[in-house]
């Protein structure tokens, strides 16, 4: 008791000033005042008391997502020693973070500080808990929201919260700040931004589970005359918005790519194969002003377009024999392919997936709910696939990087709680693949934290009545595909844009959280509005991109755009995807691949012939098909709904396989291959070099390239010419110009 009296005497003046001194504000709110202080001090962070098991016997909900439970932990546990209502200065809630009493977490604030006094006042008022009638935050803003600042300069941010009682409060000191790009700008705990380098970056401000963004533009030091932007060619709003940003940043646009480079690029990106020599020659010879539009229309009208995009959406929807029986896999893929062939609008495509019912063999889309079999995984994958939002973290607590709360997660997941199925279709080792999907008229998902169900509701949408007998997925589909949905159009626009430009407007492509802003927000918004205006016709979206000068730009690096990584001043080269590269090698060598499917009946390594030797890799509708090449070069395994499942990153294993492996070398040595047929027909050096360059690189060889090979071929004896020709083909097929989209 003497020690406690001494501590009270030491702290008495500070507490008295906070509680009995200057006029005290209205009642301190645990929800709106205390929790933000604990969050800012990181007391409820994952590395401290917000950890799953807490710290030192004291546990808080992560970032304060459960104020009711936090209040109980603070006021009822530890024999009530965490708060001393009669003597606030003795409360562990004050003595620990000020290190008056030993605290492993170190000092979080000082005695007599505003945070200290606020907590002391709350304790003196009786430590009241959160109430249902508490005012709630309705808005959060940051100023300035957008600012151009030169490198080396600084600025201060101000964060304000609006509440349901009409009050607006400066909450800057309780906000958490994070820079999205430390190479452009850094930010300290008080919201002071220091611009470090050129580019466009953003600072996020987090307060009470809400996030706002301040965008920062720092121009490069390049001296680019204004007439460069004024005279730059434009083919529509895409170019206008890209050039507008390049001008703000002083980035000079690279010139247009050559016709041969462009047709190779467009053909690979649109239909997943190399252009034929005849197609290249026809495009180069075409001098019409609308040649790019006609090329886009021809590509999108080809059968290969259907193959390529059906494959892309099969990645997204996880079409795989590892989770479905063969009949279900075939039906699932067939449904997707039919929709691509019919140019089904994206909103209708998604609606049919989300509301699917019936047999997994007759109604292919119903297999989406065989791949995802519980309400939580259904909710998470619908959100990831069609909104590019990962809500998984909110399953256990409020999302630490987004605004989604634990309550919202279970509201969303409860939309799927009545989805039922019977049959063996979801088991890859049993049954015949038939599985009937249906919807019950009752049943709810229990939220573990409360022990009760949350009223079902789409994200940021009104809730349904728990007793409503309708298929809740219909309500979800209405919200999901609504033109007013702020996420739906943006998600698919970003995926399509990344397919053509190599870098998404938001990276990663399926990470559209508020704390991960777009590199060109105006462009993303304009493209999304265009898609809505065109009634979600993806081909019309693709055409706008294909005919733009932005997509036409060469990959040539200029001194004035060397540092650009995401603003499209030039085309960004990237390695061809595993399937497209495999097909390209097969096309140039004239040797199609042969594929087998893993027999999953007993988990053995036995294989069964499944595809013909004329099947292209992008026509493989089952991701469980065995292929060393596709696996080595990063094929999407379709295990989870995430772009991270695919890798286009080069590796040493890939280099060794191309150099010494069977894929290239065996195809070149095969007597039925293109090279063997050319040699047998008596093709000379010029014909050989023209053939491989035209098919692989979509261009004729340069004079020095032609002469170099002709000299070597001429000097080789008859018995060596086959080896020399193989080396020619091998060198082209392993070159960066062939392996990369550029």
What are the tens digits of pLDDT across the range 396-422?
777 766 778 888 899 999 999 999 988
- Whose tokens are 């050039």? That residue is 243
Quick check: 327 pLDDT over 60?
Answer: yes
The DSSP code sequence of 265-319 is HHHHHHHSSPPPHHHHHHHHH---TTHHHHHHHHHHTSHHHHHHHHHHHHHHTT-
Per-residue pLDDT at 183 exceeds 60: yes
Cα separation, 193 vs 509, in Å, equals: 27
**DSSP line for 102-119:** --TT---S-TTSHHHHHH
- What is the predicted pLDDT for the residue at 1? 40
Q: What is the model's pLDDT at position 21?
A: 46
For a pLDDT cut of 90, what percent of the chain falls above it?
Answer: 67
pLDDT band at 600 (very low <50, low <70, confident <90, very high): very low
Q: Report the topology of domain 137-218.
A: Immunoglobulin-like (2.60.40)
Three-state secondary-structure class, residue 726: helix
Q: What distance lies between CA 288 and its chain's CA centroid?
A: 38
Residue 120: pLDDT over 50 = yes
- Residue 555, Cβ density class (10 Å: 0-12 exposed, 13-18 middle, ≥19 buried): middle
Integer Cα distance of 575 and 556 in angstroms: 16
pLDDT of residue 132: 87
Sequence-ordered list of residues with C-beta below 8 angstroms from that of 435, at least 6 positions apart, any chain: 328, 359, 360, 366, 367, 370, 421, 422, 423, 424, 425, 426
**pLDDT over 50 at 157, yes or no:** yes
Report the Cα–Cα distance between both ends of the chain, in Å, rounded.
77
**Region for 602 from its dihedrals, namely left if φ exceeds 0, alpha if ψ lies in -120 to 50, beta otherwise:** alpha
Distance CA 398, CA 64 (A): 8
> Which residue's entry shows tokens 């193959």?
307
Give the integer Cα–Cα distance in Å for 542 and 685: 40
606: left (phi over 0), alpha (psi -120 to 50) or beta: beta
**pLDDT tens sequence across 53-87:** 888 889 888 888 788 888 999 998 888 788 999 89
pLDDT for the residue numbered 19: 42
Mean pLDDT of all residues in 140-155: 93
Q: Which of 672, 713, 666, 668 is nearest to 689 (CA)?
A: 713
Tell me the CB-side half-sphere exposure of residue 181, using CA atoms within 13 A: 23
Q: How far apart are CA 263 and CA 285, in angstroms?
A: 12
Q: How many CB atoms lie within 10 A of CB 104?
A: 8
| Cβ–Cβ < 8 Å for 123, 84 | yes
Query: What residue has token string 């021809």?
Result: 298
Any idea what the Cα angle at residue 380 is, between residues 376 and 385, rounded to 5°?
145
Q: Where in the chain is the domain with CATH 1.10.3130?
A: 578-593+621-633+650-741
* Max Cα distance, the chain (Å): 106
Quote the CA–CA distance of 405 and 65 in Å, as a whole number: 7
Confidence of residue 613 (pLDDT cuts 50, 70, 90): low
Contact 387, 488 (CB under 8 A): yes
Neighbouring residues of 26: CB distance < 8 A, sequence distance ≥ 6 = none
* Token pair 């096309």 in the structure block, residue: 587
Q: Tell me the H-state helices in 590-700.
A: 628-632, 652-660, 662-669, 674-680, 685-696
How far is residue 29's CA from residue 37's CA, in Å, rounded to a whole number?
11
Model-level pTM? 0.88
Q: Which of 702, 724, 700, 699 is nearest to 714 (CA)?
A: 724
Q: What is the pLDDT of residue 719?
A: 77
Q: How far apart are CA 427 and CA 56, in angstroms?
A: 45
CATH assignment, 578-593+621-633+650-741? 1.10.3130
Instruction: Give 144-185 as a DSSP string.
Output: SSEEE--TT-EEE-EEEEEETTS-EEE-GGG-EEEES-TTTE
Q: Which tokens go with 287?
A: 């001098």
Tens of pLDDT, residue by residue over 673-688, are 999 999 999 889 999 9
* 144 cis-preceded (ω within 30 degrees of 0): yes
Residue 550: the pLDDT is: 98
Helix, strand and coil content of the chain, in percent to the nearest 5, comes to: 45, 10, 45
| Confidence at residue 643, expressed as pLDDT on a 0 to 100 scale | 82
- How distant is the alpha carbon of residue 317 from its chain centre? 15
Choose the weakest-confidence range: 1-10, 174-183, 324-333, 694-703: 1-10
- Is it the case that residue 25 has pLDDT exceeding 60? no
Q: How many helices (H) does the chain have, and how many strands (E)?
A: 30, 20
Residues 420-433: tens digit of each pLDDT: 988 764 444 555 66
List all residues 6 or more positions away from 635 whose beta carbon is below 8 Å from its beta carbon. Answer: 578, 579, 623, 627, 646
The first and second tokens of residue 239, run together, are 């170019």
**Tens digit of each residue's pLDDT (9 = 90 or more) over 540-567:** 999 999 999 999 999 999 999 999 999 9
Mean pLDDT of the chain: 89
pLDDT at 431: 55
CA angle at 719 for the pair 715 and 724, rounded to the nearest 5°:
55
The dihedral through the CA atoms of 675, 676, 678, 683 has a sign that is positive
Query: Could you tell me the CA-to-CA distances from 15 to 34, 84, 90, 113 in Å, in that order?
Result: 16, 12, 10, 10
Question: Which of 263-277, 330-344, 603-617 is predicted with the least confidence, judged by mean pLDDT?
Answer: 603-617
Range in 43-47, 528-532, 693-697 the model is least confident about: 43-47
Give the C-alpha separation, 121 to 134, whole Å: 18
Task: Find, among 37, 61, 66, the residue nearest to 49 by Cα.
Answer: 61
| Residue the block writes with tokens 């605004």 | 403
What is the structure's pLDDT at 432? 60
> How far is it, in rounded angstroms, from Cα 43 to Cα 622?
48
Handedness of CA 693, 698, 703, 705 (dihedral sign): negative
At residue 121, does pLDDT exceed 50? yes
Backbone angles phi, psi at 206, to 5 degrees: -105, 130
Q: Which residues of 397-406 are buried (b: 16+ CB within 10 A; e: fewer)?
A: bbbbbbbbbb
Q: Is the pLDDT of residue 355 over 80?
A: yes
Per-residue pLDDT tens over the stretch 243-258: 999 999 999 999 999 9
Predicted local distance difference test score (pLDDT) of residue 505: 96
Please give the C-alpha separations between residue 557 and each of 252, 573, 741, in angstroms, as whole numbers: 10, 11, 15
Q: How confident is the model at residue 12 (pLDDT cuts 50, 70, 90)?
A: very low
Q: Is the pLDDT at 284 greater than 60, yes or no?
A: yes
Per the DSSP assignment, residues forming a β-bridge with 419 are: 439
Q: Say how far apart CA 240 and CA 549 lie, in whole Å.
A: 10
Which residues of the chain form CATH 2.60.40.1080?
Answer: 137-218
Lowest mean per-residue pLDDT among 371-375, 501-505, 590-594, 595-599: 595-599
What percentage of residues in the chain have a pLDDT greater than 70?
Answer: 92
């Amino acid at each position: 008791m003497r020690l406690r009296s001494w501590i009270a005497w030491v702290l008495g003046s500070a507490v008295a000033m906070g509680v009995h001194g200057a006029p005290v504000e209205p009642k301190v709110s645990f929800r709106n005042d205390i929790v933000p202080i604990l969050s800012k001090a990181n007391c409820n962070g994952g590395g401290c008391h917000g950890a799953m098991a807490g710290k030192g016997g004291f546990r808080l909900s992560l970032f304060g997502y459960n104020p009711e439970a936090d209040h109980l932990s603070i006021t009822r546990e530890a024999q009530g020693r965490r708060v001393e209502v009669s003597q606030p200065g003795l409360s562990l809630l004050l003595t620990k973070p000020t290190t008056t009493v030993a605290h492993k977490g170190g000092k979080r604030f000082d005695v007599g500080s505003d945070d200290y006094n606020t907590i002391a006042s709350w304790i003196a008022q009786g430590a009241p808990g959160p109430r249902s009638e508490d005012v709630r935050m309705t808005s959060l803003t940051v100023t300035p929201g957008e600012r151009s600042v030169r490198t080396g300069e600084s600025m201060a941010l101000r964060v304000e919260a609006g509440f349901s009682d009409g009050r607006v409060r400066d909450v800057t000191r309780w906000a958490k700040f994070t820079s999205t790009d430390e190479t452009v700008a850094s930010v300290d705990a008080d919201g002071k931004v220091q611009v470090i380098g050129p580019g466009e970056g953003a600072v996020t401000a987090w307060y009470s589970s809400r996030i706002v963004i301040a965008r920062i533009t720092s121009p490069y030091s390049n001296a680019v005359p204004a007439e460069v932007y004024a005279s730059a060619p434009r083919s529509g709003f895409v170019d206008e918005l890209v050039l507008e940003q390049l001008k703000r940043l002083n980035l000079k646009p690279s010139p247009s790519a050559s016709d041969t480079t462009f047709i190779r690029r467009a053909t690979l990106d649109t239909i997943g194969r190399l252009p034929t020599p005849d197609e290249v020659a026809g495009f180069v010879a075409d001098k019409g002003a609308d040649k790019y539009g006609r090329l886009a229309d021809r590509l999108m009208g080809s059968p290969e377009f259907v193959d390529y995009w059906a494959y892309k959406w099969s990645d997204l929807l996880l079409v795989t024999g590892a989770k479905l029986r063969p009949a279900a896999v075939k039906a699932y893929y067939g449904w997707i392919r039919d929709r691509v062939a019919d140019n089904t609008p994206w909103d209708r495509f998604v609606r049919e997936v989300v509301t699917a019912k019936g047999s997994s063999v007759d109604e292919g889309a119903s297999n989406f709910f065989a791949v995802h079999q519980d309400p939580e995984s259904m909710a998470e994958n619908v959100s990831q696939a069609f909104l590019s939002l990962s809500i998984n973290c909110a399953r256990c607590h409020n999302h630490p990087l987004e605004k989604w709360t634990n309550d919202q997660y279970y509201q969303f997941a409860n939309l799927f709680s009545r989805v039922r199925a019977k049959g063996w279709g979801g088991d890859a080792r049993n049954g015949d693949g038939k599985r009937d999907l249906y919807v019950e008229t009752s049943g709810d998902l229990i939220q573990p934290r409360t022990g009760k169900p949350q009223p079902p509701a789409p994200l940021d949408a009104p809730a349904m009545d728990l007793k409503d007998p309708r298929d809740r997925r219909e309500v979800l589909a209405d919200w999901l595909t609504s033109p007013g949905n702020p996420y739906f159009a943006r998600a698919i626009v970003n995926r399509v844009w990344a397919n053509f430009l190599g870098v998404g407007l938001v990276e990663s492509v399926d990470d559209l959280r508020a704390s991960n802003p777009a590199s060109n927000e105006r462009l993303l918004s304009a493209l999304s509005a265009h898609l809505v205006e065109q009634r979600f016709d993806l081909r019309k979206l693709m055409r706008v991109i294909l005919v733009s000068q932005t997509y036409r730009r060469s990959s040539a690096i200029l001194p004035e755009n060397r540092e650009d990584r995401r603003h499209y001043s030039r085309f960004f080269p990237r390695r061809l995807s595993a399937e497209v590269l495999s097909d390209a090698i097969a096309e140039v060598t004239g040797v199609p691949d042969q594929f087998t499917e893993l027999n999953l009946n007993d988990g053995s390594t036995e294989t069964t012939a499944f595809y013909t030797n004329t099947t292209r890799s992008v026509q493989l509708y089952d991701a469980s098909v065995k292929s060393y090449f596709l696996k080595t070069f990063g094929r999407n395994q379709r295990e989870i709904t995430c772009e991270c499942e695919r890798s286009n990153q080069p590796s040493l294993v890939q280099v060794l396989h191309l150099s010494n492996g069977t894929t290239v070398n065996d195809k070149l040595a095969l007597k039925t291959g293109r090279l063997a047929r050319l040699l047998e027909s008596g093709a000379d050096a010029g014909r050989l070099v023209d053939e491989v360059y035209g098919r692989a690189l979509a261009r004729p060889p340069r004079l020095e390239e032609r002469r170099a090979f002709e000299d070597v071929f001429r000097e080789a004896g008859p018995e060596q010419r086959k080896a020399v020709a193989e080396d020619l083909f091998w060198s082209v097929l392993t070159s960066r110009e062939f392996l990369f989209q550029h």
